[in-house]
């Protein structure tokens, strides 16, 4: 059983930065595809970034490239999302996700291909 718990959200002004964390507990999870998604109001989740935990290979949605950075700490069982130059349109509920399937580890592979989810942390940019 795998549990994901996000933290680090909050309110920030336009142009500011936040670093989100996702703590992974439960079964060992060194070899996985992990990602960050966000959801605005009642819209569907949108993939932002993904990382293959063993290789460290990352991939990003085009609209966050250059502003967001995904990283992981396998020993600490943590996933991070560094967000810089935040804009009002970045306001959303941010969730981390994980899955044992590491092939095609991209944020655009779709939320249905991630089996484990956190509840999310709210980010508000004003």
pLDDT digits (tens, 9 = 90+) for 2-42: 899 999 999 999 999 999 999 998 765 678 899 999 999 87
At 29 the pLDDT is 67
pLDDT band at 1 (very low <50, low <70, confident <90, very high): confident
Instruction: Determine the pLDDT at residue 102.
Output: 86
**Maximum average pLDDT range among 14-18, 54-58, 111-115:** 14-18
> What does 98-115 look like in DSSP terms, one character per residue?
EES--TT--GGG-GGG--
Poorest-pLDDT segment among 45-49, 60-64, 88-92, 111-115:
111-115
- The confidence band for 119, taking pLDDT boundaries of 50, 70 and 90, is very high
Q: How far apart are CA 112 and CA 84, in angstroms?
A: 28
Half-sphere exposure of residue 59: CA atoms within 13 angstroms, side-chain side: 15
What does the alpha-carbon distance between residue 80 and residue 83 come to, in Å, rounded to a whole number?
10
Chain CA centroid to CA 10, Å: 15
């Amino acid at each position: 059983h795998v549990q994901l718990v996000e933290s680090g959200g909050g309110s920030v002004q336009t142009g500011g930065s936040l670093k989100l964390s996702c703590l992974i507990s439960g079964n060992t999870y060194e070899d996985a595809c992990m990602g960050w998604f966000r959801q605005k109001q009642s819209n569907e989740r949108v993939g932002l970034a993904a990382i293959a935990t063993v290789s460290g290979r990352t991939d990003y949605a085009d609209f966050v490239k250059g502003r967001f950075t995904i990283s992981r700490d396998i020993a600490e069982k943590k996933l991070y999302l560094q967000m810089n130059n935040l804009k009002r349109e970045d306001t959303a509920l941010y969730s981390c996700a994980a899955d044992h399937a590491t092939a095609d580890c991209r944020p655009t592979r779709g939320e249905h291909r991630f089996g484990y989810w956190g509840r999310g942390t709210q980010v508000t940019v004003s």
